[in-house]
Structure 1
Amino acid sequence: MAQRNEFRQDARRCAAKVAGVTAEFFVERAAVPTADHTTDTDPCERPWEQSGRLVRLPVGSAGES
């Protein structure tokens, strides 16, 4: 039980340190710039487009709602 309480206290301290931090990539607990290839949307779209072709969806409709 004491170990669980210690974990909760550690989690609260960590949460306070990162409150409000979004869209950052961390290496060894330090924020580092995001590599360009990780934010390139074209590679993300390719599987959706290929899936659409495989199920014969009209061109341009894959991934759209």
Structure 2
Amino acid sequence: AEGVLAAVWRLVGYVLPRPLPRMTYADAMARYGTDKPDLRMGLELVECTAYFQDTPFRVFQAP
């Protein structure tokens, strides 16, 4: 399938980098919180528990 996709794009003058980048389901869920991340943005989940550990605002308190 990757070869066909590369051939079609080559017909319109665009060369795809090969092999195409891949990400496992587990990696996508851990890094982006979804199985179909929008990689154009580069927004990954960040662990902030330590930062909010002493906050009086209950919404941000860890269980």
The structure where helix makes up a greater share of residues is: 1
TM-score (norm 1): 0.23
How does the TM-score come out when normalised to structure 2? Answer: 0.23
Which structure has the highest strand share of the two?
1
